[in-house]
């Protein structure tokens, strides 16, 4: 009961930054002008159009700089899902005859998994590689799955549920010699970890603005120069014909600004969040028994903590936390009375008495040590109560 008193009723603690982040005030400030005063269509040749065009050019440079790309290799999209779709469907549409096999993993985001399912319905074959208990894809398994028909390998850089970071460069190494395209969904890592397209040795990389303090409905696909890619929507010739439609100028400006901010703040934010996350992890392990920390022990996003509590429902924990003003997310959703474990947790083969009790805490710029101490106290109380039911 005492733990409850620690939290001010009016304060909310947001620990769900892997779901989405608040828009940074600096990002919002940069965007505002482009809704009203600078409303021109970047395709117009007059000064209104030129202003909007210049803003997009600037955002393209900011976005390219974050990931070590050339500005001409950035295609702005309507978010991470669209970038993933363009990467897979676009590569499939541009594939040479006979190249009709894809390799991915069992723990990808649905933006990749369901696009693969769709491609299967169109005659492509797909390998969904298993992961080990840390959520890591074995590069050797990738190598062995490659055939003469393999067109593309899509492996996410960092997992959104457990934070595990993939050994991408190793995976890519195996494929590059065979002329196979490599795509990575870097939606969770861009702006959070150093992400360099050459270090990762990828041809295609997806990112999303709202996962790192930019606006929702904005994203980008990096397309390495020379990568065969066909459009998946048809219309005008915006974004080199790869993403038709009048550009979302305020959104693109916001995404660019978010990239610039991330590049500037990343080195110290990464260390700060890692320290905060490890602190929360330590408090939870100290205060609560029968817990499992998920993901790779060190190849893991610095701000993500996925933890499984034995004998409780993660869904119930998240609801109880919410009643105390704390926002987190569960790894299992209650649909029509039965607890459905996510495909990611299922792939990890977490013991049955733990998996349903999985909760993800994902930290961000606004979180403080005090908030995490309060969260750990309240959490311990909630788990104790739920276990005694
Ligand atoms: C959020 C997310 C997406 C989807 O991005 P949107 O911009 O929300 O469409 C794709 N992949 C991963 C790993 C994500 O976390």
- For ligand 1, atom 6, name the residue with the nearest CA: 80
Ligand 1 centroid to residue 35 C-alpha, Å: 25
Distance CA 171, CA 179 (A): 13
Q: What pTM, to 2 d.p., does this model score? A: 0.95
**Domain endpoint, select from 262, 290, 313:** 262
Q: 125 and 250 share a domain?
A: yes
- Residue 286 belongs to a domain: yes
pLDDT of the residue at 178 = 86
User: Does residue 33 sit in the same domain as residue 124?
Assistant: yes
Q: Whose CA is nearest to atom 14 of ligand 1?
A: 187
Residue 140 pLDDT exceeds 80: yes
**DSSP class of 227:** -
As a dihedral over the C-alpha atoms of residue 131, residue 135, residue 136, residue 142, rounded to 10 degrees, the angle is 30
Does the pLDDT of residue 122 top 80, yes or no? yes
Are both 228 and 331 inside the same structural domain? no
CA of 220 to the centre of ligand 1 (A): 11
8 found inside a domain: no
Same structural domain, 241 and 276: no
Q: How confident is the model at residue 195 (pLDDT cuts 50, 70, 90)?
A: very high
333 and 190 share one domain: no
Distance 266 CA to ligand 1 centre (A): 20
Query: The CATH number of the domain where 214 resides is what?
Result: 3.40.640.10
- Count up the domains in the chain and report the number: 2
Q: Whose CA is nearest to atom 5 of ligand 1?
A: 80
From the CB of residue 5, how many other CB atoms can be counted at a distance below 10 Å?
A: 9
The CA-based diameter of the chain, rounded to the nearest angstrom, is: 70
From 262, 293, 313, give the residue that closes a domain.
262
**238 alpha carbon – ligand 1 mean position (Å):** 23
Token readout for 154 is 């899509």
Domain edge (last residue) among 203, 231, 262 = 262
- Look at residue 286 in the predicted model and tell me its pLDDT: 97
Mutate to test the pocket of ligand 1, among 84, 192, 210, 211 (most ligand atoms within 8 A of CB): 211
Query: Which one of 111, 183, 251 would you pick to mutate in the ligand 1 pocket, going by the greatest count of ligand atoms within 8 A of its CB?
Result: 111
Do 35 and 154 reside in the same domain of the chain?
yes
- Is 277 found in the same domain as 234? no
Mean pLDDT of the chain: 95
Q: How confident is the model at residue 381 (pLDDT cuts 50, 70, 90)?
A: very high
> For residue 107, what are the domain limits?
25-262
DSSP states of 76-99: EESSHHHHHHHHHHHHHHTPPTT-
**6 found inside a domain:** no
Distance CA 110, CA 84 (A): 10
In this structure, what are the phi and psi dihedrals at residue 219, rounded to the nearest 5 degrees?
-170, -175
**38 domain residue, yes or no:** yes
Are both 101 and 214 inside the same structural domain? Answer: yes
Confidence label for 389 from pLDDT (cuts 50, 70 and 90): confident
- Is 220 a residue whose pLDDT tops 50? yes
CA 86 to centroid of ligand 1, rounded, Å = 13
**Pocket of ligand 1, beta carbon within 6 A:** 79-81, 84, 109, 111, 156, 160, 185, 187-188, 208, 210-211, 219
Residue 238 lies in a domain: yes
Who contacts 359 (Cβ-Cβ below 8 Å, separation ≥6)? 306, 307, 308, 309, 314, 317, 318, 321, 328, 329, 330, 331
Q: Which of 182-191, 200-209, 308-317, 330-339 has the lowest mean pLDDT?
A: 330-339
Q: What is the per-residue pLDDT for 179? A: 87
Same domain, yes or no, for 189 and 90? yes
CATH of the domain at 360: 3.90.1150.10
94 and 111 belong to one structural domain: yes
Within-domain flag for 5: no
- Mean pLDDT within 197-225: 98
Region for residue 151 given its phi and psi (left: phi exceeds 0; alpha: psi -120 to 50; beta: otherwise): alpha
pLDDT tier at 7 (50, 70, 90 boundaries)?
very low
Residue at 4 is within a domain: no
**How far apart (Å, rounded) are the C-alpha atoms in residues 342 and 333?**
8
Atom of ligand 1 nearest to the CA of 18: 15
Which residue spans within 121-250 are E strands per DSSP?
125-129, 150-154, 181-185, 204-208, 219-223
Of all residues in the chain, the percent with pLDDT exceeding 70 is: 96
Query: Do 44 and 71 have their domain in common?
Result: yes
Q: What average pLDDT score do residues 50-63 get?
A: 98
Residues 6+ apart with CB under 8 A from 321: 327, 328, 359, 375, 378, 379, 382
Which position has the token pair 């490890």?
278
Domain co-membership, 149 together with 276: no
* Of the listed ranges 218-227, 340-349, 364-373, the one predicted with least confidence: 340-349
Report, as residue numbers or ranges, the catalytic residues.
334
Q: Is residue 202 part of a domain?
A: yes
The whole-number average pLDDT for the span 277-295 is: 97
Mutate to test the pocket of ligand 1, among 78, 160, 205, 219 (most ligand atoms within 8 A of CB): 160
β-pairing verdict for 181-185 and 150-154: parallel
């Amino acid at each position: 009961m005492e733990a409850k008193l620690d939290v001010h009723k009016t304060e909310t603690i947001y620990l769900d930054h892997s779901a989405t982040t608040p828009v940074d005030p600096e990002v919002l400030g940069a965007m505002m002008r482009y809704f009203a005063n600078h409303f021109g269509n970047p395709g117009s040749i007059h000064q209104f159009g030129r202003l909007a065009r210049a803003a997009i050019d600037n955002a393209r440079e900011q976005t390219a700089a974050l990931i070590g790309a050339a500005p001409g290799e950035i295609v702005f999209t309507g978010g991470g899902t669209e970038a993933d779709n363009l990467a897979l469907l676009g590569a499939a549409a541009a594939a040479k005859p006979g190249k009709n096999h894809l390799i991915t993993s069992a723990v990808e985001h649905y933006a990749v998994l369901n696009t693969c399912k769709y491609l299967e319905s169109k005659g492509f074959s797909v390998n969904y590689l298993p992961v080990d208990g840390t959520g890591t894809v074995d590069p050797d398994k990738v190598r062995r799955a490659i055939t003469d028909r393999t067109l593309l390998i899509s492996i996410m850089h960092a997992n959104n549920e457990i934070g595990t970071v993939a050994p991408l460069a190793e995976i890519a190494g195996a494929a590059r010699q065979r002329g196979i395209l490599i795509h990575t969904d870097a939606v969770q890592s861009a702006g959070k970890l150093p992400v360099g397209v050459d270090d990762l040795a990828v041809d295609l990389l997806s990112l999303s603005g709202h996962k790192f303090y930019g606006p929702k409905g904005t994203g980008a696909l990096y397309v390495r120069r020379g990568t065969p890619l066909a459009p998946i929507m048809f219309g005008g010739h915006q974004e080199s014909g790869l993403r038709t439609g009048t550009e979302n100028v305020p959104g693109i400006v916001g995404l660019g600004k978010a990239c610039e901010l991330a590049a500037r703040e990343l080195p110290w934010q990464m260390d700060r969040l890692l320290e905060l996350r490890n602190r929360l992890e330590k408090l939870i392990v100290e205060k609560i028994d029968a817990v499992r920390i998920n993901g790779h022990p060190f190849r893991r996003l610095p701000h993500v903590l996925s933890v499984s509590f034995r004998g409780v429902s993660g869904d119930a924990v998240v609801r109880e936390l919410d009643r105390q003003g704390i926002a987190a997310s569960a790894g299992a959703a209650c649909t029509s009375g039965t607890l459905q474990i996510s495909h990611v947790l299922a792939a990890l083969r977490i013991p049955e008495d733990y998996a349903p009790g999985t909760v993800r805490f994902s930290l961000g710029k606004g979180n403080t040590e005090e908030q995490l101490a309060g969260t750990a106290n309240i959490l311990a109380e909630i788990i104790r109560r739920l276990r005694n039911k």
